[in-house]
Amino acid sequence: MRNYGDRNWASNREGLFSQSDESTFARISTNSLTRSEFPLVVVGAKDGLTVAMPSLASASRTGTVLQTGYISDGELRWFYANCATFVFPSLDEGFGLPVLEAADNRAPMALSRIPAFQEFGDVGSFFDPTDAKSIADAVTESILNGPSAGAGGLTMRFSWAATVARIRESLLERV
């Protein structure tokens, strides 16, 4: 899971780590998908405002969740390339650059069913970011199925070169 800091409500960490026995993390843990030798890794620096999440603190102590804090771009690429699945439970995004980063590193993906991510097409398993069962089911499906074939061409469609070419073409049509 990629974290964009505690101030960003849209990251939806609470959707994964609520105190309920029906939370996403509880469901994933019950399915033995997280354990100390196979932890859920939360990547990203904290930035000030922290919401108390006892289940996250407890899981961090037992080793079933690893919170990395800030990591370099190279370390981030390593996590994408070596993860069992990339989970992005965001409630709202403008574009979804981490989805492109994950696709570029052939990471299986479990993504919120929000317009910004659905525009990418069949790139992973989609879930309702407000429903713990939906998230847990998509994470399980993504881990079992591996990378989506649809994610392969994603970085080609949204590369800087392709974007510049589309802008140039659009501008030339108007001239």
pLDDT tens series, the chain, 175 aa = 444 444 444 455 555 655 555 555 555 655 555 556 677 788 877 654 455 565 566 666 666 777 788 889 999 999 999 998 999 988 888 888 889 889 989 999 999 999 999 999 999 999 999 888 898 899 889 988 988 887 877 777 777 788 788 889 999 998 7
DSSP class of 95: S
- Using alpha carbons, select from 144, 60, 142 the residue that is nearest to residue 102: 142
Which residue ranges form the domains of the chain, and what is each CATH number? Answer: 9-174 (3.40.50.2000)
Task: Give, to the nearest 10 degrees, the angle between helix 73-82 and helix 97-104.
Answer: 70
DSSP class of 120: T
Dihedral over alpha carbons 118, 95, 46, 26 (to 10 degrees): 0
**The whole model's pTM is what?**
0.73
- Number of C-beta neighbours around residue 155 at 10 A: 17
Contact indicator for 2, 44 with CB cutoff of 8 Å: yes
Q: How far apart are CA 158 and CA 152, in angstroms?
A: 12
